[in-house]
Amino acid sequence: MHGKENTIYVFMIIVYQIRNLSCKSERVPELRCPYCDKTGGIAIDAMQKYIWFLMPMWPLGKYGVATCNNCSQKIPAKKWTDEIEGRYLILKKDVQTPGRLWRGLLVVPLLVAALLSVVTWIVMSGSNSYKGSKSSEMAHLKVYLAKPKENDLYRVMTLSNNQIVYTYFKYAAISGDTLFVYPMKEKVSGFNQWGKLNEKAPDAFTNEKIPVNQPALLKQLESWTMQPVTTPITLYGIIRDGQFFDTEYARVNPALYKAN
């Protein structure tokens, strides 16, 4: 199409333009205008279409624009005489597509590669930060399990009447590889019900000490997996001095525990 104005296209979230560049212009005074029927005023421009998105991306087709200075008319292609058409084709033949219109095909891949590099770096930095944080947290858990102290709380999944329940144990004593704990009176049966437990209540725990195999809990921290319960007790985390240190399973599923 000849003489088309710049057009903005929107596709999803990408906004780009079809722009027009005048590559070469020629006055042809000997040609007659089909509107005013006068000679001396015809000029022909060879135009180049190209896609613009932040910069020239790539060229499209060429087209011509004919105008008459005598009557100030833009002559549409359907009104061109054979002489105007012939002079435009000669002019177009001598026009080379400017190399700068291909800039985007070189620059954009470089920008995309740079963006991907930045995103990868951010993801890897976050991953390394998480691993470092998790490694530190697991180190605390191992120390707290190996060297328990008064008022330590253990958030656990265990069995009650052959049913899986979620509750707290409170440290009572340690003898050899046996950890003695006071079980909490209250228990919940769902992953999302930790908030119903009030481990800070004065009478929250029983006075009965029950034994727990300390090496078994430590082994869970060494090779924690998202597998079904294979031992009577599965550790979810330890609360010491009001701070909660969680195992991987609890971290991946934050809805499993309430804020302390």
pLDDT at 223: 61
pLDDT at 203: 92
Give residue 169's region: left, alpha or beta (phi > 0; psi -120 to 50): beta
What number of CA atoms fall less than 13 Å from residue 139's CA on the CB side?
A: 6
pLDDT at 174: 92
Q: What are phi and psi of 237, to 5 degrees?
A: 170, 170
Q: What global pTM score does this model have?
A: 0.47
| DSSP notation for 43-108 | EEEEEEEEEESSSEEEEEEEEEEEEETTTTEEE-GGG--HHHHHHHHHHHHTPPPPGGGGHHHHHH
pLDDT at 134: 61
The continuous run of DSSP H or E covering 110 comes out as: helix 103-146
Please state, in angstroms and rounded to a whole number, the distance separating the CA atoms of residues 61 and 137.
63
pLDDT at 90: 83
Which tens digit of pLDDT belongs to each residue from 208-241? 999 988 888 888 776 654 444 445 788 888 999 8
| Nearest residue to 2 (alpha-carbon basis) of 68, 91, 67 | 67
Which tens digit of pLDDT belongs to each residue from 164-190? 889 999 999 999 989 999 999 999 987
Q: Which 8-state DSSP code applies to residue 231?
A: S
pLDDT at 87: 85
- Which stretches in the chain have pLDDT values below 50? 1-5, 10-12, 128-132, 225-230, 251-260
